[in-house]
A and B are shown apart, each in its own frame.
Chain A
Amino acid sequence: MKSDKELHLYGQDLLELLCAVLSKGAGFRFQAKGFSMSPFIKDGDVITISPVKGTVSQIVPFIHPEGKNLRVHRIVWKTRGKFLIKGDHCNESDGLIPEENILGHVEKIERNGKNIRFGLGKERHLIAWLSRKRILNIMLFLGRLLIPSFIRRRIL
Chain B
Amino acid sequence: MEQKINIKNTYCQSEDVVAREIHGEFIIIPITSGIGDLEDELYTLNETGKNIWDRLDGKKSLKEIAMELSKEFDAPLEEIEKDVAGLTEELLVRRIVLEV
Contact of A26 among B31, B42, B49, B90 (CB under 8 A): B31
Query: Distance in Å from the Cβ of A76 to the closest Cβ of chain B?
Result: 27
Contact of A30 among B23, B27, B31, B39 (CB under 8 A): B39
CA distance A4 to B43 in the complex (A): 5
Query: Distance in Å from the Cβ of A28 to the closest Cβ of chain B?
Result: 5
Q: Across the interface, do A24 and B31 meet the contact criterion of CB distance under 8 Å?
A: yes
Q: Which residue of A lies closest to B35 (CB)?
A: A27
Q: A17-B18, A20-B18, A24-B31 are known contacts. Are A1 and B36 too (CB-CB below 8 A)?
A: no
Report the count of interface residues on A (CB-CB < 8 A).
Answer: 23
Point out the residues of chain A lying under 8 angstroms from B34, CB to CB: 25-27
Asked if A2 is at the interface of the complex by the 8 Å CB criterion, the answer is yes
Q: Across the interface, do B42 and A7 meet the contact criterion of CB distance under 8 Å?
A: yes
Q: Across the interface, do A28 and B42 meet the contact criterion of CB distance under 8 Å?
A: no
Task: Tell me which of B22, B28, B36 has the highest count of chain A C-beta atoms within 10 A of its own C-beta.
Answer: B36
Q: Across the interface, do B49 and A1 meet the contact criterion of CB distance under 8 Å?
A: yes
Contact of A5 among B15, B28, B40 (CB under 8 A): B40
Asked if B20 is at the interface of the complex by the 8 Å CB criterion, the answer is yes
Q: A9-B22, A17-B27, A17-B29 are known contacts. Are A1 and B45 too (CB-CB below 8 A)?
A: yes
Point out the residues of chain B lying under 8 angstroms from A21, CB to CB: 18, 29, 31, 36
Which residues between 1 and 16 of chain A lie within 8 Å of chain B, taking CB atoms?
1-5, 7, 9, 13-14, 16
Main secondary structure of the interface of A (DSSP, over half): mixed
Q: Which residue of A lies closest to B22 (CB)?
A: A13
Q: Across the interface, do A7 and B35 meet the contact criterion of CB distance under 8 Å?
A: no
Query: Distance in Å from the Cβ of B46 to the closest Cβ of chain A?
Result: 8
Given contacts A7-B44, A16-B22, 18 further A-B contacts (CB under 8 A): A1-B44, A2-B43, A2-B44, A3-B42, A4-B25, A4-B27, A4-B44, A5-B39, A5-B40, A5-B42, A9-B38, A13-B22, A21-B29, A25-B34, A26-B16, A26-B34, A27-B35, A30-B38
Residues of chain B touching chain A, judged by Cβ–Cβ distance below 8 Å, are 15-16, 18, 20, 22-23, 25, 27-29, 31, 34-45, 49, 87, 90-91
Residues of chain A touching chain B, judged by Cβ–Cβ distance below 8 Å, are 1-5, 7, 9, 13-14, 16-17, 20-21, 24-31, 46, 48
Please list 5 pairs of residues, one from A and one from B, whose beta carbons are closer than 8 Å in the complex, sorted by A's number.
Answer: A1-B91, A4-B42, A14-B38, A17-B22, A17-B27
